[in-house]
Structure 1
Amino acid sequence: MTEDELTRVLLVDDEHDFLQTLSERLKMRGLRVDIALGGEQALQKLSSELFQVIIVDLSMPGMDGLETTQRIKEMNPSLEVIILTGHGTVRSGVDAMKIGVSDFIEKPVEINNLLEKVRIARDRFAKSQSEKTRTVLTGIATRQGW
């Protein structure tokens, strides 16, 4: 199984047709993809399922992409979030980076560019998890006197 086939991605957008199309395109390239229609549904899925990379639309009714990202980061700071938007501004890009997004990409996105951003985010997530595991194991070994 390739790394791409192990990569779990959650797509978050309020446009169902866009979600379906992008989901299929990413699945065809080997990623394991789930979708959420908006921020609330994304948070529900994140509370019960494991993902490495979350791709969030910036402009959604109700909970927008920035609020969704902020809540995701509160749940798990090591999750990698990519903001995807058709209405990006420098200000929204700066705000997104301040709350810890991995990347900020404008629609329409070229699929190979998005795949590369997902792979970079996945690798960053894996490194973060590895560092956490090493820290925990070091703490256990120290307490046990090993």
Structure 2
Amino acid sequence: MECQLATKVMLVDDETDFIELMSQRLETRGLKVTAVTSGEEALASIDDKNIDVAVVDLAMPGIDGLQTLIQMKKIRPDIEVIMLTGHATVHSGIEAMKHGASDYLEKPVDLNVLMEKIRKAKQDRMTALEEKSAEEVKHILKSKSW
């Protein structure tokens, strides 16, 4: 039962050492982690997995983190995305938030801070999904002529 409740996180970063280490550290703390090394790979598998939170590196070759965020939100509007970067600028942070990132963190990231951001992002996603379900039920009930 507890496995089903584990937060499902997708790590997206082109630095394989980083995602291997971070995957282990997050899994040790009870999260279910899918690690991919490119935006393309993330977008190809986002539909196959019921991901709660994606942690996406901003600077990647190919599809960068911002484009990955934008495309993820088109495919799965309910997914929460936390941006990670070693090259933080105010502009990139604002752009990420404008496109729906739930947070923006600098590398090296403090694991406790990341865990708290993931917990909050999952909670926000669950709240949004519950509200959407309640709205759909209301709409169905209104459309029925009982």
Q: TM-score per shorter chain, which class?
A: over 0.9
Q: Number of aligned residue pairs: give it.
A: 146
Tell me if 1:18 matches 2:18: yes
Structure 2, gaps ≥5 residues long? none
| Matched residue SS, 2:100 | coil
Partner of 1:73: 73
Identify the residue that residue 63 of structure 2 maps to in structure 1. 63
Indicate the residue corresponding to 1:125 in structure 2.
Answer: 125
Mapped partners of 2:135, 2:128: distance in 1: 11
- What percentage of aligned pairs have identical amino acids? 45
- Whole-Å Cα distance in 1 between the matches of residues 141 and 2 of structure 2? 32
Contact 1:15 1:37 in 2 (8 A): yes
* Structure 1, unaligned runs of 5 or more: none
Could you tell me which residue of structure 1 aligns to residue 35 of structure 2?
35
Q: Which residue of 2 aligns with 1:143?
A: 143
After superposition, the Cα gap between the structure-2 partners of 1:107 and 1:4, relative to the gap in structure 1 and judged at 3 Å, is farther
What is the TM-score when the length of structure 2 is the normalising length? 0.94
Partner of 1:107: 107
Instruction: Supply the AA of the counterpart residue of 2:112.
Output: N
Amino acid aligned to 1:27: E
What is the distance in 2 between the residues matched to 1:24 and 1:84?
Answer: 18
How far did 1:2 drift?
Answer: 5.7
Does 1:53 find its partner at 2:53? yes
- Kept after mapping to 2: 8 A contact 1:5/1:30: no
In the TM superposition, residue 36 of structure 1 has moved relative to its aligned partner by: 1.0
Query: Structure 1 residue 144: deviation in Å?
Result: 2.1
User: Which SS does the other structure have where 1:9 is aligned?
Assistant: strand
Secondary structure of the residue aligned to 2:33 is: strand
Secondary structure of the 1:50 match is coil
Residues 144, 5 of structure 1: CA spacing in aligned structure 2 closer, same or farther, 3 A cutoff?
closer
Output the TM-score relative to the length of structure 1. 0.94
Tell me the CA shift for residue 4 of structure 1. 9.7
Separation in structure 1 between the aligned mates of residue 4 and residue 30 of structure 2, nearest angstrom: 6
Shift of 1:47: 1.9
* C-alpha contact 1:5 1:32 (8 A) present in aligned 2: no
In the aligned structure 2, how far is the partner of 1:139 from the partner of 1:42? 34
